[in-house]
Amino acid sequence: MRHQRVSVGPIALHSRHFWYCLLSGFFVGLSGSPTLVHAFFQSTANSETVAAPHDPVPNTPVARWWKGNLHTHSLWSDGNDFPEMISEWYRERNYNFLAISDHNLLQEGQRWMKQSALASRGAANALEKYRARFGGSWVETRGEEGTDSYQVRLKPLDEYRYLLEQRGEFILIPSEEITDRADGKPVHMNATNLDEVIQPLGGKTVREVMENNLRSVLEQEKAKGREILPHLNHPNFGYGITFEDLAAVMSERFFEVYNGHPGVNHRGDAKNPGVERMWDLANHLRVNKLGGSLLMGVATDDSHEYHGKPGSRPGRGWVMVRAEYLTPEHLIRAMKAGDFYSSSGATLSDIQWDAAAKKLSVTIEPAPGATYWTEYLVTTTSGEPEEIGRVGLATQELSSSYTLKDGETIVRAVVTSSLAPVDPVFDDQKQQAWTQPFTMVPAE
Ligand SMILES: [Zn+2]
Ligand SMILES: [Zn+2]
């Protein structure tokens, strides 16, 4: 993994916008005609074959942060709303991408659902709300209303995406939660940007199940020539997966360091470490003992409940990915290069890893009224428990950095806000942001 990268901050974005506004204003002021402004940029574009500044397909886009959720459920499996309603929820809240990842299926083919089944899913009013938002000509039903025969059609992704996607603003990515078990323990893995459904392959042990399903995903990625992102879900759900499992399956490069479902034991218990601690323990084994690559951390919603009842509601965990284009391939490539962070509320404007200087730098984009606490967690080669994820530096500065010292091999930063999340999952929860871990040990 290489993390050397060019700084691309919001200043570049702002200045470009600034100049365009300034020039537009100048030309409008000068000529009194917006048409001339348009003509000016068009002629520039034609003569130099460069896209105009307002073009939705820019010629030289600046890398920027895109917000997305990669773990979501709908009526197609055990979520309780229509995929269009869920997509709209995220789109309206300035997400740029969403992967609805239903259990062991892709949203394709003919599917009808009885209205009575909606009620048993805790969604008695879902059809009414769906009609109110999208209109009667979009919603398809059959049978006689008020009888048991009354059904509503669940539309496939390839049908509804054209209603909701906006180029450069919001995209939907096909996904599946490959939902498997081993020894009675849940082993769930999301695969983002699939082309074909993957049936869970099973296996004798947790690690075998992880490896089998991961192999399926990687085979499809190769066969179809597309980027697919597998990530292991909620390791502490049913305490199914240990940190040793996370370390041993080296081909798994992503896991959920935060999942907004209240039932996933994020903080662990008396016997089991919390998920963040597992991350450091697994990465110590992977990098310092096995000579492999780092495991990266994703935050997701795992949302099922969309009608305000208790449960796994949307909006609790997301990733911010730095890429030039809003396409699945560009987002996934950026994530594979480690150019993303995870959040339950806190926002970062910049993260830089200077591999040559072994230095990690973080800049926070502060929310009004918030103060922040940034911890740089370092791991040394010693293997002593207190040397795994030790606090190397704690600071209240909005911009800070940490340089690895002798014997220290891994560093990551976690930023904690003084503010609670909008919809907290547990008592005393604060908004956080997690950078990826970085190491100067060459991987792979
Ligand atoms: Zn799951
Ligand atoms: Zn799920």
53-111 tens-digit pLDDT: 667 778 889 999 999 999 999 999 999 999 999 999 999 999 999 999 999 999 999 99
* Centroid of ligand 1 to alpha carbon of 233 (angstroms): 6
**Confidence at residue 247, expressed as pLDDT on a 0 to 100 scale:** 98
- Cβ–Cβ < 8 Å for 335, 318: no
Spell out the alpha helix ranges (H) of 142-256. Answer: 157-164, 206-224, 243-248
Alpha-carbon span 172 to 378, nearest angstrom = 36
Q: Which ligand is nearest to the CA of 234?
A: 1
H or E segment and range at residue 22 = helix 10-31
**Confidence at residue 22, expressed as pLDDT on a 0 to 100 scale:** 36
* Centroid of ligand 2 to alpha carbon of 302 (angstroms): 5
Domain ranges of the chain: 10-48, 64-111+154-439, 112-153
Q: Which residues, 6 or more positions from 41, have their beta carbon under 8 angstroms from its beta carbon?
A: 52, 53, 54
Answer left, alpha or beta for residue 430, where phi above 0 means left and psi between -120 and 50 means alpha: beta
Q: Residues in the chain with pLDDT < 70?
A: 1-54, 441-444
* Centroid of ligand 2 to alpha carbon of 72 (angstroms): 6
* Centroid of ligand 2 to alpha carbon of 258 (angstroms): 13
**Confidence at residue 379, expressed as pLDDT on a 0 to 100 scale:** 98
Q: Which residues, 6 or more positions from 78, have their beta carbon under 8 angstroms from its beta carbon?
A: 102, 103, 121, 304
Identify the burial level of 141 via C-beta atoms within 10 angstroms of its C-beta, where 0-12 means exposed, 13-18 middle and 19 or more buried. Answer: middle
**Confidence at residue 54, expressed as pLDDT on a 0 to 100 scale:** 67
* Centroid of ligand 2 to alpha carbon of 331 (angstroms): 21
**Confidence at residue 57, expressed as pLDDT on a 0 to 100 scale:** 77
Q: What single string gives the DSSP state of each residue in 229-267?
A: EEEE--TTGGG---HHHHHH-TT--EEEEEE--TTS-TT
**Confidence at residue 347, expressed as pLDDT on a 0 to 100 scale:** 98
* Centroid of ligand 1 to alpha carbon of 178 (angstroms): 8
Q: Which ligand is nearest to the CA of 102?
A: 2
Q: Name the residue among 222, 214, 225, 218 with its Cα closest to residue 180.
A: 214
* Centroid of ligand 1 to alpha carbon of 429 (angstroms): 22
Q: pTM for the complete prediction?
A: 0.88
Backbone angles phi and psi of 299, in degrees to 5: -110, 140
* Centroid of ligand 2 to alpha carbon of 300 (angstroms): 9
Residue 366 has what DSSP assignment?
P
For residue 156, how many C-alpha atoms fall within 13 Å in the half-sphere facing its CB? 9
Of how many residues is the chain composed?
444
Q: Which ligand is nearest to the CA of 305?
A: 2
Alpha-carbon span 135 to 413, nearest angstrom = 46
CA distances from 103 to 106, 156, 217, 437 (A): 8, 15, 15, 29
CA distances from 282 to 30, 76, 229, 248 (A): 63, 34, 20, 8
Q: Name the residue among 205, 198, 201 with its Cα closest to residue 182.
A: 205
**Confidence at residue 177, expressed as pLDDT on a 0 to 100 scale:** 98
The hierarchical CATH code for the domain 64-111+154-439 is: 3.20.20.140
H or E segment and range at residue 188 = strand 185-192
* Centroid of ligand 2 to alpha carbon of 203 (angstroms): 20
* Centroid of ligand 1 to alpha carbon of 275 (angstroms): 15
**Confidence at residue 146, expressed as pLDDT on a 0 to 100 scale:** 87
Alpha-carbon span 444 to 441, nearest angstrom = 10
Strand 175-182 to 185-192 pairing: antiparallel
Q: Name the residue among 141, 154, 82 with its Cα closest to residue 306.
A: 82
Q: Which two tokens stand for residue 413?
A: 């930063």
Q: Which ligand is nearest to the CA of 73?
A: 2
361-395 tens-digit pLDDT: 999 999 999 999 999 999 999 999 999 999 999 99
**Confidence at residue 66, expressed as pLDDT on a 0 to 100 scale:** 98
